[in-house]
Amino acid sequence: MNLTTIQSIIKSLVILLTYSLISGPLLADLSVNTNRSQYSPSDNINLKIETTNPTQQALDLSPLQQGFIIIDQKKLMINSYAEGKRTSVVRWELLLRARKSGPIEIPSLEHNGEFSAPLSIFIQSSSSSRFLPVSDMPVILDAQLNREDGYEKALFIYTLNLYSDRPLAPDFSLSAPKITRAKVILLNSNEIQKVEIRGKQYDVREYRYAIFPAEMGRYVIEGPVFNGAQVDANQLEARANNLEINVRARQDFDNASYWLPAQRVSIDETWVKNQRLQVGDIIEREIIIQMQGITAAEMPKIKIPSPEIVKILSSKVTLSDSIDEKGIRGTKTIRQKIQLLERGELTFDKIAIYWWDTDQDSQKVATIDKNILNVFPGPNGESSIEREVAQNKAAQSTNENIIIIETESSWLIWALIALSAMTSLGWLFNLRKVRRIKDAQAEAFHQNIADKNRKPGNATTGSTTLDNENFNAKAELNTFQTLGRACLQNDLISANRRLLEWANYYWYQQPLESIGDIVTLANNDALAALLKDMQHCLDTHDVAQWQGKSLFELLTQLRDK
């Protein structure tokens, strides 16, 4: 072997070693995870892919297409700032559906020279042979959720399967799943099915529940408890597995004063009316609102505008719920009888329902376009006024025999008129006086709030003097109360957003863009430590570990000084 060959071999080894050292860390940068590891054939698989090396290069999804159907995808850019460093993370969120049952592998994906590790999941079979946790108990309870992460007041479907290797005695009892701050509704229960699991026959009863969490947070759903016995056997007790869900806070809405999370919302209307409309006609309007994933009783009040020149003779509202394969669907039906009072163009304004799509995690709106009706003069005139005149003339002609008695006591009538005028003037004077008192009290209240929140200027602390003319005390107080609610509920994401909003009201003379700006301006060591911990939880996405009570108490102390 000559010297040239030896140098070539050494050069190749150095290149190979360098490549392995460079590519090794990259393998860990492209992370892939799912919301759980076991799914039924009809479940959607939420796949999240993240990288800390963002580029404009598209993610190659072709390796997934052999084993999965790609239903939806979206790309997110997450920026964070900590200790003078700005980091960026790119996240792809995919919605997949498996093409087959059994063990299936999410293959390695590649992006910008980075590779993810393969990930194995299990798809339960749709046949009578199904998956079941290993257990020696004669009666087994197995609980599953359609999702583990959702919004407050949104629907979670809880499915409980009761397995028994022998027929059950009919007097058994089964409790409902337990969860704090949530409404639990039994949707349905299926008849007994015979299934084979690992070569053994079981009787299976399926129970489906709707769970509506009332507030954000992490909650444990305690599994139902079975008390009973198999035929000709001793009494026994079995408990289902506990499950945990993460409930997110509601999102901000455009032009809406309510929170409506649902899977689907539709609104339709029908009319019962003559082809040619006239003044005095009575028409019927029916509006049907359907919402998938919410009960009719929980639907928010939707304003149904009507023209001022009509008379609503009756308005009846009917609520109903129905169960389907997706859970629960609420229906609200509004039936109105309307009398037309004026001729011309009659405009029924547009109806808009703003709602949050829990499947696609985005705001949507369901609408009915405005409707214009042409109304022609009626047989008794062109408007309600003319119709009343015609009716009064008819009434006068039928009462010609009525005798009108006149009196000469005109001075008494004028005295009563003068007394009424004096009383009205006195009432108006007192009303104006009361209004002035209320305005003065309101002005004093807002001035006290502004005085309480005013801080003297200090060049060493970086704080600024609050100007009564520019400082919005009411907005600052409202924002601080909202910040306090988020802190006490340990809602890190909302607290971060509300903290910046409040700080920009409090230190209004200069814009604040990050937690670091607040630390610089406040110049408080204790506050700096709490905000540093808050920023660390944001950077590491460890929202469950953050506790906001101490931060709110310290901000309250600093604010009251």
Q: Does residue 400 form part of some domain?
A: no
Per the structure, how many domains does the chain have? Answer: 4
Q: Does residue 341 form part of some domain?
A: yes
Asked if residue 561 and residue 503 are part of one domain, the reply reads yes
Q: Quick check: helix, strand or coil at residue 345?
A: strand
Residues sharing a CB contact under 8 Å with residue 21, sequence separation 6 or more, in sequence order? none
* Residue that terminates a domain, selected from 123, 147, 181: 123
Q: What is the pLDDT of residue 436?
A: 59
* Residue that terminates a domain, selected from 357, 376, 395: 376
Asked if residue 295 and residue 360 are part of one domain, the reply reads yes
Q: Yes or no: say if 74 and 92 are a contact pair by the CB < 8 Å rule.
A: yes
- Report the 3 state secondary structure along 134-192: CCCCCEEEEEEECCCEEECCCCEEEEEEEEECCCECCCCEECCCECCCEEEEEEEECCC
Rounded percentage of the chain residues whose pLDDT exceeds 70: 75
CATH number at residue 195: 2.60.40.740
Q: Does residue 178 form part of some domain?
A: yes
Q: What Å distances lie between residue 88 and 27, 30, 76, 77, 406, CA to CA? A: 18, 13, 10, 7, 92
Worst-scoring range by mean pLDDT, 16-30, 357-371, 447-461, 487-501? 447-461
DSSP state of 523: -
Asked if residue 275 and residue 243 are part of one domain, the reply reads no
182 pairs with which residues across the strands? 213
CA 469, CA 447: separation in Å to the nearest integer?
11
Worst-scoring range by mean pLDDT, 42-56, 99-113, 325-339, 446-460? 446-460
Average pLDDT over residues 307-330: 89
- What's the pLDDT tens digit per position in 80-138? 766 667 778 888 899 888 877 778 899 999 888 888 899 888 887 654 444 555 566 88
Q: What is the pLDDT of residue 384?
A: 55
The token duo for 456 is: 């003297």
Q: Does residue 398 form part of some domain?
A: no
- What's the pLDDT tens digit per position in 493-525? 888 888 888 888 888 777 777 888 888 878 888
Judge whether residue 408 has pLDDT over 60: no
Q: Does residue 480 form part of some domain?
A: yes
CA 305, CA 350: separation in Å to the nearest integer?
8
Q: What Å distances lie between residue 4 and 10, 14, 227, CA to CA? A: 10, 15, 82
Q: What is the pLDDT of residue 453?
A: 47
Asked if residue 158 and residue 116 are part of one domain, the reply reads no
Q: What are phi and psi of 167, to 5 degrees?
A: -60, 145
* Residue that terminates a domain, selected from 344, 359, 376: 376
Q: Does residue 422 form part of some domain?
A: no
> Residue with structure tokens 């700096």?
528
Q: Yes or no: say if 174 and 207 are a contact pair by the CB < 8 Å rule.
A: yes
CA 221, CA 243: separation in Å to the nearest integer?
5
Q: What share of the chain is helix, strand, coil (3-state, %, to 5)?
A: 30, 40, 35
Average pLDDT over residues 389-418: 53
Q: Does residue 525 form part of some domain?
A: yes
Domain of 491, in residue numbers: 433-561
In 399-551, DSSP assigns E strands to: none
Q: Quick check: helix, strand or coil at residue 558?
A: helix
Asked if residue 331 and residue 223 are part of one domain, the reply reads no
CA 115, CA 28: separation in Å to the nearest integer?
8
Q: What is the pLDDT of residue 256?
A: 66
> CB-based burial of residue 158 (10 Å sphere; 0-12 exposed, 13-18 middle, 19+ buried)?
buried
Letter string b/e over residues 89-101, b meaning 16 or more CB atoms within 10 A of that residue's CB: bbebebbbebeeb
Q: Yes or no: say if 295 and 402 are a contact pair by the CB < 8 Å rule.
A: no
Q: What angle do CA 551, 462, 507 make, to 5 degrees?
A: 60
Judge whether residue 215 has pLDDT over 70: yes
**Amino acid letter, residue 556:** T
159 pairs with which residues across the strands? 144, 208
Asked if residue 108 and residue 181 are part of one domain, the reply reads no
Q: Is the pTM of this model over 0.75?
A: no
